[in-house]
């Protein structure tokens, strides 16, 4: 009579053991971050003049530096390099792969927990694919959100993105001073679930990198600590030049 009970105990112990040794729960959201170079270059010493929204990164909402032994190798993305140089450039050090190396180590190795992103080529090519699919540059221009001397409201910019993509983005600005009368548009984040379906960025946003700066403090590497969520009531300047 005790055999079934002992069997249940063994099964329970096995299940418990399986839970303990299972890998950490995979991320549930990807954040495709767009940079406005003119704003960034007004704060940093850039060596590349770019006047369109560029990629900053593709960030999963869980994990940072998930596999330090998985080294970046540009030869694995050689076919992507022409597009990388144009769409995902390092504005500070254009001749170096340091930006991509940093993004791979910090975010790519964590995104790679998903089979759809489990190689350097899959990770970088997917980021480029999503960037081109969204075509943020054309969408903003189509609805008359263009770099100029005039100011925009937060709701104007958010409204265009929400109406076109059907989701709420995360819009970040540079704030010249604490009580400034204007803020400067700097980054726009658009989010996807694990199946690359668009979703609101405000849902379960837990990326540690955003609060700590997206690219750290390494020489020749972007620092985003100057950006924070745009104030909804302060006019936004969308600069046409640094």
Residue 35 is a catalytic residue: no
Q: What is the pTM of this model?
A: 0.82
Residue 13 lies in a domain: no
Q: Does 15 reside within a domain?
A: no
Catalytic residue chosen out of the listed positions 34, 35, 105, 107: 107
Q: Does 66 fall in a domain? A: yes
Say which of 103, 105, 175, 189 is annotated catalytic.
Answer: 103
Asked whether residue 56 is assigned to any structural domain, the reply reads yes
Say if 74 falls within a structural domain.
yes
What CATH number is given to the structural domain containing 129?
Answer: 3.90.730.10
- In which domain, by residue range, is 70 found? 23-237
For residues 110 and 176, the answer to whether their CB atoms sit within 8 Å is no
> pLDDT (tens digit, 9 = 90+) per residue, 117-176?
999 999 999 999 999 999 999 999 999 999 999 999 999 999 999 999 999 999 999 998
- 103 as an active site residue: the answer is yes
Let me know if residue 82 belongs to a domain: yes
pLDDT in tens, 53-66: 999 999 999 999 99
Active-site residue (options: 56, 105, 175, 189): 56
Structural domains counted in the chain: 1
The torsion defined by the Cα of 47, 49, 51 and 55, in degrees rounded to 10, comes to -30
Has residue 6 been placed in a domain? Answer: no
Answer yes or no: 175 catalytic: no
5 is a domain residue: no
| CA dihedral for 142, 194, 27, 79, sign (positive or negative) | negative
């Amino acid at each position: 009579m005790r055999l079934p009970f002992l069997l249940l105990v063994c099964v329970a112990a096995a299940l418990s053991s399986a839970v303990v040794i299972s890998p950490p729960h995979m991320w549930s959201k990807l954040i495709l971050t767009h940079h406005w170079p003119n704003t960034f270059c007004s704060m940093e010493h850039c060596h590349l003049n770019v006047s369109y929204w560029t990629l900053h990164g593709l960030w999963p909402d869980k994990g940072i530096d998930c596999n330090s032994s998985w080294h970046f190798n540009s030869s694995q993305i050689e076919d992507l390099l022409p597009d990388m140089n144009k769409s995902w450039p390092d504005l500070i050090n254009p001749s170096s792969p340091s930006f991509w190396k940093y993004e791979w180590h910090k975010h790519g190795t964590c995104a790679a927990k998903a089979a759809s992103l489990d190689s350097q080529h899959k990770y970088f090519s997917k980021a480029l694919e999503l960037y081109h699919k969204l075509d943020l540059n054309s969408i903003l221009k189509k609805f008359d959100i263009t770099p100029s001397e005039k100011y925009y409201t937060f709701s104007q910019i958010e409204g265009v993105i929400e109406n076109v993509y059907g989701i709420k983005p995360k819009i970040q600005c540079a704030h010249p001073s604490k009580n400034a009368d204007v803020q400067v548009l700097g980054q726009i984040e658009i989010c996807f679930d694990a199946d690359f379906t668009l979703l609101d960025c405000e849902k379960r946003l837990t990326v540690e990198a955003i609060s700590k700066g997206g690219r750290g403090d390494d020489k020749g590497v972007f620092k985003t600590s100057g950006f924070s969520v745009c104030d909804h009531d302060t006019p936004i300047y969308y600069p046409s030049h640094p």
